[in-house]
A and B are shown apart, each in its own frame.
Chain A
Amino acid sequence: MGEASTSRRTFLKFAAAGVAAGAVGLPLYHYRFRSPEEAVRVGPRGTPPLGSWEDLYRQRWTWDTIAKGSHGWANCRSACAWDLYVKDGVVVREEQTATYEQSEPGVPDFNPRGCQKGACYTEVMYGPSRTSVPLKRVGPRGSGQWERIGWEQAIGEIAEKCIAAANRWGTETLYQDLGPNFDFGPSTAGRFKFQFMAGGMFADNWAEIGDLNIGASMAMGFAHVGGSADEWFLSDYLVVWMMNPSVTQIPDAHFLYEARYKGSELVVIDPVYSATAVHADQWLPIAVGTDAALGLAVARHLLDVGAIDLPYVREQTDLPLLVRLDTGRFLRGEDLVEGGLGTQLYMWHPQRNAAVAAPGCGGHETRSLVLDFEPPIDGQWLVRLKDGAEVGVVPVGAMLKEHLDPWTFDYTAQVTGLHVEQIRRFAEGWARAERPMVLSSWGSNRYMHSDLMNRAKILCLALKGALGRKGAGYQATGWVDLDGFANAMQMQRPGIAGRLGALLGTIEPAQLFDAMLDVAMKRKTQNEVERMGEHFYTKNRLCTTDVVEVNFTAPGYLDALNREQEGMSPRPLAAYREESRANGWGPGVPVKAPPKVFFSGGANLLRRNNLPQYLKAFVWDDMELIVDINPKFSFTGTQADYILPAAGWYEKAGIKYTMSYIPYVHYCDVAVPPLAESKGEFEIYWLLTREIERQAKAMDLPVFEGCGRGSTDWKTLHQRYSNRGDLGQHDAEKVVREILDSSATKGVTLEALKRDGIARFTATGTSVQASALHNPDWTGPGVLNTLTRFTEHKEPWPTWSGRITSFIDHPWFIEMREQFPVHKDSPKAGGDHPFQFVSCHARWSIHSSWRDTPMMLRLQRGEPQVWINPADGERLGIADYAYAELYNDYGSVRMRVKYSTAVRPGVAYYHHAWEPHQFPNHESYKWLIPGLVNPLHMAGGYQQIDHMMNRYQPGSAVQDTRLGIRPWTGQPTGAKPVATSRSDGEPT
């Protein structure tokens, strides 16, 4: 790669002179011109002579340099290109570059992507909660007593404690969670690389934060599905179903309203008259948590009037697959012939009048869904089993029809609270639509039964043949994969040797050979082999788990949930977990002990976890070392032992999330050096691995076993982290080059990204998520549509049946009666109280980032607030803006009430992610939210139903929480203490 071109960089030093710099006491600043040409191109724009008072205004629009940037670590589902205006060594403001092109003629362009948060990250960067120097706790955890220390001391002590914990408890007790604030740049690659190479435990939190679309995983085999946002524009029937793009997808929302001008119909289904609903053609004010019922009514209507795409349904869905009437399970090869496969399913062949093996399913030799006959989706026949017995069989379609039969418009109206005419109008819209599209956000996964809701939506789309058709389908956020990122965090040597080593680390040579042979012989598809590799890697090489599983390692935490969920399922929650572990379905990590060392990086676990008082009592207080590496004081940081100041997002090289919404890679350049004493994460872990290696060598530390998935020698930790010395302390940009060596960024150079900030992806990528976009043909030009791997290339779907799945005959699903999507009432969590406590992603923050930024707080009343309907407020005698006490079985918290006519009576609605220290007692509403765990999400052994990072894992549902609201007149509020047997424990 072009090392020569960067060697021309010139570094200039300036003394800090800006007001902002003075306010935070900055040391000397330096910043760079990237090349002589560019210096001419982007500025500086000097101060005009002050000839008149207008020139004072002109003076404010001046700068020294412009860097290209984005908000690398912001955990928002998008990416936007920004110009960062630097003056006197300070980033003074940011403005969108707005240089995106139209994807294809006839669709609007993406300009000028951005939002109010992005437009003021500088307020966070130089804001009052910015960390700037390493801190060490000197009082008890959470006491707020800190001592300023140097980096050398911090790294030395942390390394020592890591070694002590690993020695005593095993390396897997070194704990990190996914983030969820992270980027795809060197900072994250460094963070993950440290964790993996040290043999630490890495916990996914996608479901724990309530964002993982398990319903999509059940139905299609992957959770992250969706194309570019301009694909929305091509739909003729846009159904925004549990999403609020005006608030949570600000850069993309315009495509909806523009599609409307183009003639599309826009329907919004939401108990709240949301900022998206105000622009709808139909708003369906649905009763909370009844969305599955509405979906079932639509599916019934589509089947009733025959508004389905029958050839598609036969080929792509499980509707023609045969089910035994005697067992209620699929007819399998093992039922019919001796030695038959349990993974071979059957369809009815009308001409042969016999059950024939369905192509493309797990046990079939062909890897194609193509049919040479037309299997019926209705009917009933007899088949003879291998033991000679005759049993009745029906296709899934016939059972589905019967299953949907109760869901008339009238009955659905009773359940959903909608008028029959509203449901009819909605369902008829579906029947008419040529390209129906459902937008379902990450926030659609926060009910105990969200999976059923999303399965119901996907069922409607499947019946219409919409999944995998351009301008139609399911939009729930896809990712473009950067295989270079996977390399960057796995390789242990530079260059091709390192990349090969990373590959061989994920798959054994014999397996690799077999896999290549399988693909050549067409016994497996390329994608199936990739998925096998991913499966092998995550189950056999990495110590991966999920945050719920980690919490459950503390018996006290599990007990609390077990009590809460009593009676919600046929067996107690703990019994399902026990069986899951016994069957090897769960991650099985941690093996030896609960976490002892926690590195919080871009995460805010104590802020976001439900029942943090239990987490604190049963997990947190038992940990021996807690380090928060963060550019911001977070609640988690204030409860940690060390706070290490991370560089801000304009101060380190980064790559923003690679969401498919915007099919461009977004580079975050170093606009200014790290503020004060802060450092980028790549450098922090570089220093830490060096120190750990030094101490390990000095004490001749033995090789650790890890969690049984490969040993780790800490005496070579830094050698491996630094690719045998190839990566220096300040070589983050070298890592960027490695990351850009990805199939999705062919030909994209660091130099070009520094110049332009963005580059269009050249493919949907491979590896990290096993190509969840499933469009192998897309090479950059045109709208990025998805799932054509199945609908056009006819490869099997990554599900148990190889098809879009409506019917699941896993024993647990049968036990729960969830073989088909059904409606189940939202269980009452936290006790039987009159209000349902419904959250949404925030408008004024990206989770807890920007949550305490004055510029944002001034636009939302300054304090945490719960939104209720004015009628409820008046009934309760609580005025707008007054404090109220929110209570349930876990105690109470105090929040300000906000009136809104948009909120459904009986709903207490809140924008999430307030920091606990924004509440009296430092207890947020999270202290009242048990976070229900759906036992089915611990099921396994059924292809797509199998614990996997980013795809399938137990979560923590918040929307089922109930509470009461009463006026606050000065009475004490607080969560109930957690009973522990510990003498030193200090329950909150």
Chain B
Amino acid sequence: MKYETPAPDRQIAMVLDLNKCLGCHTCTVACKKMWNTDAGTDYAYWNNVETMPGKGFPANVHDPATAGRDLDGTTKRGQIPDLDTGYGRAWTFNHKDVLASTGAPVKEWLRPREEVKWGPNFDEDHGAGEYPRENHYFYLPRLCNHCTHPACRDACPRGAIHKRQQDGIVLVDQDTCHGYRFCVEACPYKKVYYDHVRQVSSKCIFCLPRIEEGVAPACARQCPGRLRFVGYRDDPEGPIHKLVDRWKVAIPLHPEYGLGPNVFYVPPMSPPRLDADGRPTEEPRIPLAFLESLFGKAVGPALEVLLAERAKTRNGGSSELMDLLIAYDWNQNFKLDAHQREVLS
């Protein structure tokens, strides 16, 4: 069941073009440095990057069993990821014993003090498929989707989670939250994190202090791959509307849960698969079925549009879509309506 709640005045949104992602995690680090360096959230990554196919972060996040929704969108019990096997706790290291030893004869080497069972990038570049015919992987950066119908909000008995009226950012009220973690369990994207020091839950705030001054979120503005676009969904001149609604090349992750994510992805193309003899085929390496398991049936048509527009430029023509994705003037990737666009000018 879904609650009927008043829609926000506007909805802020993000598009990520996976064909430009480098897997460098600058977004992850930018976000972490900004928001999650404290003891209770040191394990948390409001923004993370996954190698797909893979178990993701937290582990098994793409397994429907962990989600607080069935595949038809009905509510069910989800799972709370384990700190060690799900997220991986923020390992501490023994630098002092190794670097400033007192000359003990046993050589201690630098390593995590804790037993490592999983981590935020544990299956980096692992991928799937037999080398060299069909092995494949791609990078999937993830953040809170700031859903139109947030499962976390629906799950909170305290009413501590709301969508902000002016921009639809989903926020956990840090005063009201009692740390029950129903939201952690419910969110199929596992993007609410429990702060085990302050004993409340917290999540991506879409860098609200920056948004309020017209500065894009750190993950987007610091992305050297230039793959992120930020703007309002209802702005017909903005990049979000163009990519999501006009060109329909940007689609949400796991639409099957029916939560209305407001983060969208331009799906990945991939080099041709080889046949049994090693001859290049016309088939992409990433199986469409796998992409559909993440992005639903819209992924096929989105890829077709992308390939058709690229065929135009390959043949010497021009394409408005390609020009938009190239981002000649990168600042245009962000269309926010506040007075300041850049930090300093």
Q: A280-B271, A881-B116 are in contact. Are A858 and B91 (CB under 8 A)?
A: yes
- CB-CB under 8 A from B316, the residues of chain A are 263
Whether a CB of chain B sits under 8 angstroms from the CB of A66 is yes
Q: A53-B173, A109-B330 are in contact. Are A917 and B109 (CB under 8 A)?
A: yes
Which residue of chain A has the shortest Cβ distance to B114 in the bound complex?
Answer: A862
Decide: B330 and A902 in contact? CB cutoff 8 A: no
Decide: B344 and A253 in contact? CB cutoff 8 A: no
Decide: B328 and A102 in contact? CB cutoff 8 A: yes
Contact string against A for B residues 133-146, beta-carbon threshold 8 Å, 1 for contact and 0 otherwise: 00111110000000
- CB-CB under 8 A from B218, the residues of chain A are 95
- CB-CB under 8 A from B132, the residues of chain A are 273, 285, 904
User: Which of B6-14, B92-100, B232-240 binds A?
Assistant: B92-100
Whether a CB of chain A sits under 8 angstroms from the CB of B171 is yes
Decide: A258 and B327 in contact? CB cutoff 8 A: yes
Decide: B111 and A282 in contact? CB cutoff 8 A: no
- CB-CB under 8 A from A122, the residues of chain B are 33
CA gap between A922 and B97 in the complex, in Å: 13
Q: Which of A58, A129, A278 contacts B270 (CB 8 A)?
A: A278
Q: A881-B116, A901-B135 are in contact. Are A119 and B29 (CB under 8 A)?
A: yes
Whether a CB of chain A sits under 8 angstroms from the CB of B272 is yes
Decide: A112 and B109 in contact? CB cutoff 8 A: no
Decide: B344 and A97 in contact? CB cutoff 8 A: yes
Which residue of chain B has the shortest Cβ distance to A131 in the bound complex?
Answer: B99
CA gap between A483 and B93 in the complex, in Å: 44
CA gap between A258 and B128 in the complex, in Å: 26
Q: Which of B226, B278, B280 contacts A111 (CB 8 A)?
A: B226
CA gap between A843 and B24 in the complex, in Å: 7
Decide: B19 and A257 in contact? CB cutoff 8 A: yes
Decide: B102 and A144 in contact? CB cutoff 8 A: yes
Decide: B171 and A54 in contact? CB cutoff 8 A: yes
Whether a CB of chain B sits under 8 angstroms from the CB of A161 is no
Decide: A115 and B24 in contact? CB cutoff 8 A: yes
User: Which of A376-384, A403-411, A418-426, A710-718 binds B?
Assistant: A418-426
CB-defined A-B contacts under 8 Å, sample of 18: A66-B344, A83-B343, A94-B33, A112-B224, A119-B33, A128-B96, A253-B22, A253-B225, A261-B323, A278-B268, A283-B271, A422-B278, A422-B279, A861-B122, A867-B125, A902-B135, A917-B99, A917-B109
CA gap between A904 and B133 in the complex, in Å: 11
Q: Which of B100, B175, B325 contacts A144 (CB 8 A)?
A: B100
Known pairs A145-B103, A901-B128; list 11 more (Cβ under 8 Å): A60-B34, A60-B209, A96-B221, A119-B29, A251-B224, A263-B314, A273-B132, A279-B20, A843-B24, A901-B126, A902-B137
In the assembled complex, how far is the CB of residue B93 from the closest CB belonging to chain A, in whole angstroms? 5
Whether a CB of chain B sits under 8 angstroms from the CB of A613 is no
Most buried by B among A41, A143, A261, A870: A261
- CB-CB under 8 A from B19, the residues of chain A are 257, 260, 279
Whether a CB of chain A sits under 8 angstroms from the CB of B287 is no
Which residue of chain A has the shortest Cβ distance to B223 in the bound complex?
Answer: A112
In the assembled complex, how far is the CB of residue A425 from the closest CB belonging to chain B, in whole angstroms? 7
- CB-CB under 8 A from A905, the residues of chain B are 131
CA gap between A96 and B116 in the complex, in Å: 33
CA gap between A106 and B322 in the complex, in Å: 13
Whether a CB of chain A sits under 8 angstroms from the CB of B26 is yes
The number of residue pairs between A and B whose CB atoms lie closer than 8 Å in the complex comes to 281
Q: A61-B34, A901-B137 are in contact. Are A42 and B95 (CB under 8 A)?
A: no
Whether a CB of chain A sits under 8 angstroms from the CB of B254 is no
Whether a CB of chain B sits under 8 angstroms from the CB of A310 is no
For the side of the interface on B, what is the size category? 35 or more
Q: A273-B132, A852-B93, A904-B132 are in contact. Are A861 and B327 (CB under 8 A)?
A: no
Decide: A120 and B209 in contact? CB cutoff 8 A: no
Decide: B33 and A638 in contact? CB cutoff 8 A: no
Decide: A262 and B126 in contact? CB cutoff 8 A: no
CA gap between A917 and B107 in the complex, in Å: 8
Decide: A115 and B224 in contact? CB cutoff 8 A: yes
Whether a CB of chain B sits under 8 angstroms from the CB of A879 is no
Decide: A107 and B328 in contact? CB cutoff 8 A: yes
Most buried by A among B92, B209, B210: B209
Whether a CB of chain B sits under 8 angstroms from the CB of A526 is no
- CB-CB under 8 A from B330, the residues of chain A are 98, 108-109, 111-112
CA gap between A195 and B129 in the complex, in Å: 54
CA gap between A144 and B99 in the complex, in Å: 7
Contact string against B for A residues 406-442, beta-carbon threshold 8 Å, 1 for contact and 0 otherwise: 0000000000001101100100000000000000000
Decide: A116 and B24 in contact? CB cutoff 8 A: yes
Q: Which of B95, B221, B278, B314 contacts A95 (CB 8 A)?
A: B221
Decide: B26 and A116 in contact? CB cutoff 8 A: yes
Whether a CB of chain B sits under 8 angstroms from the CB of A860 is yes
Decide: A281 and B344 in contact? CB cutoff 8 A: no
Decide: A854 and B91 in contact? CB cutoff 8 A: yes
- CB-CB under 8 A from A111, the residues of chain B are 226, 330-331
- CB-CB under 8 A from B129, the residues of chain A are 901
In the assembled complex, how far is the CB of residue A243 from the closest CB belonging to chain B, in whole angstroms? 13
In the assembled complex, how far is the CB of residue B155 from the closest CB belonging to chain A, in whole angstroms? 20
In the assembled complex, how far is the CB of residue B311 from the closest CB belonging to chain A, in whole angstroms? 9
Decide: B126 and A859 in contact? CB cutoff 8 A: no
Decide: A145 and B102 in contact? CB cutoff 8 A: yes
CA gap between A146 and B96 in the complex, in Å: 13
Decide: A83 and B279 in contact? CB cutoff 8 A: no
Which residues of chain A from 812 to 863 have a CB within 8 Å of any chain B CB? 843, 852, 854-855, 857-863
Which residue of chain B has the shortest Cβ distance to A422 in the bound complex?
Answer: B280
- CB-CB under 8 A from B315, the residues of chain A are 263
Q: A111-B330, A115-B26, A861-B122 are in contact. Are A852 and B210 (CB under 8 A)?
A: no
- Give the interface of A toward B (CB within 8 A): 41-42, 52-54, 56-58, 60-61, 66, 83, 93-99, 102, 106-109, 111-116, 119-120, 122-123, 128-129, 139, 143-146, 246-247, 250-251, 253-254, 257-258, 260-263, 265, 268, 273, 275, 277-283, 285, 418-419, 421-422, 425, 633, 638, 843, 852, 854-855, 857-863, 867, 869-871, 880-881, 898-905, 915, 917-922
Q: A275-B125, A919-B109 are in contact. Are A421 and B280 (CB under 8 A)?
A: yes
Decide: A250 and B24 in contact? CB cutoff 8 A: yes
CA gap between A251 and B330 in the complex, in Å: 13
Decide: A915 and B103 in contact? CB cutoff 8 A: no
Contact string against A for B residues 158-182, beta-carbon threshold 8 Å, 1 for contact and 0 otherwise: 0000000000000101110000000
Whether a CB of chain A sits under 8 angstroms from the CB of B282 is no
Q: Which of A42, A53, A60, A263 contacts B35 (CB 8 A)?
A: A60
Whether a CB of chain A sits under 8 angstroms from the CB of B75 is no
Whether a CB of chain A sits under 8 angstroms from the CB of B85 is no
Decide: A920 and B344 in contact? CB cutoff 8 A: no
Which residues of chain B from 57 to 89 have a CB within 8 Å of any chain A CB? 88
Q: A144-B102, A254-B224, A254-B226 are in contact. Are A425 and B110 (CB under 8 A)?
A: no
Whether a CB of chain A sits under 8 angstroms from the CB of B199 is no
Give the 6 A-B residue pairs with the shortest CB-CB distance, closest first.
A263-B313, A285-B132, A128-B95, A144-B101, A419-B278, A145-B103
Whether a CB of chain A sits under 8 angstroms from the CB of B296 is no
Q: Which of A280, A421, A881, A915 contacts B279 (CB 8 A)?
A: A421
Which residue of chain A has the shortest Cβ distance to B35 in the bound complex?
Answer: A60
- CB-CB under 8 A from A260, the residues of chain B are 19, 310
Decide: B313 and A859 in contact? CB cutoff 8 A: no
Q: Which of A108, A119, A419, A869 contacts B328 (CB 8 A)?
A: A108
Contact string against A for B residues 195-211, beta-carbon threshold 8 Å, 1 for contact and 0 otherwise: 00000000001011110
In the assembled complex, how far is the CB of residue A875 from the closest CB belonging to chain B, in whole angstroms? 13
Q: A109-B330, A128-B96, A857-B93 are in contact. Are A902 and B116 (CB under 8 A)?
A: no
- CB-CB under 8 A from A280, the residues of chain B are 271
Decide: B95 and A129 in contact? CB cutoff 8 A: yes
- CB-CB under 8 A from A920, the residues of chain B are 107, 109
Decide: A859 and B103 in contact? CB cutoff 8 A: no
Decide: B110 and A57 in contact? CB cutoff 8 A: no
Contact string against A for B residues 305-345, beta-carbon threshold 8 Å, 1 for contact and 0 otherwise: 00000100111100000110111111100000000001110
- CB-CB under 8 A from A116, the residues of chain B are 24-26, 28-29
Q: A61-B209, A116-B26, A900-B127 are in contact. Are A278 and B137 (CB under 8 A)?
A: yes
